[in-house]
Amino acid sequence: MVRSEKTRQFIIEKTASIFNKKGYTGTYLSDLTNATGLTKGSIYGNFKDKNEVALEAFKYNYKFQTKQVLEKIDKASNAADKFLTFLNHYQTAFKRIFNNGGCAILNTAIDADDGNDILYKEVVKTILQWQNWMVSILDDGISKTELKSIDTNEFTFRMIALMQGSIMVSKTLNNPEILVNNLEHIKNEILQLKI
């Protein structure tokens, strides 16, 4: 079967939330065929294997979770406002993220860390891109004397860990206040950096 970009995109869109909710090992070919209405041959005619579908599903889920917030951040005028916009988004968008199975980075990292090298490498790349993006905003704010000088690597990794851990605990305990309160804590840290 000849690969079709339209069919590939259809498969990705229909299976992305399944992979995010059930994980790589918990998602079966029958889940893919049921979600798409396509045969095994149609799916594997468009993807090399389940790994490739899972990889593209992860990329789709990550884009789904970040597209709106990146558009909002682009409109912010300074480093602190960019971070506050980012955090405000997650305080209001967590229901949509939880309904999609939770954070794509966290879910895929846990699912892939000990057995799926392809997904693991993509998650590592994504976390480092996210961290580098935050460092560049902080560095820019420091260089423009909008923010106090700090160890930007340390700050951003702490922020990522607190956010990811808060999402996991909030979703697991069905208690969004944990996430909301911890995001408030990070917002206060950002505000204390302002000059």
| Domains with residue ranges and CATH for the chain | 58-193 (1.10.357.10)
Q: Which of 188, 34, 23 has its CA nearest to residue 111?
A: 23
The whole model's pTM is what? 0.86
Q: Residues in the chain, how many?
A: 195
3-class DSSP assignment, residue 185: helix
Q: What is the mean pLDDT of residues 8-26?
A: 93
Q: Are 58 and 21 in contact (CB under 8 A)?
A: no
What are 21-60's pLDDT values in tens digits?
998 889 999 999 999 999 999 999 999 999 999 999 999 9
CB-hemisphere CA count at 13 Å for 47?
23
Residue 89 burial class via C-beta count within 10 angstroms: exposed 0-12, middle 13-18, buried 19 and up: buried
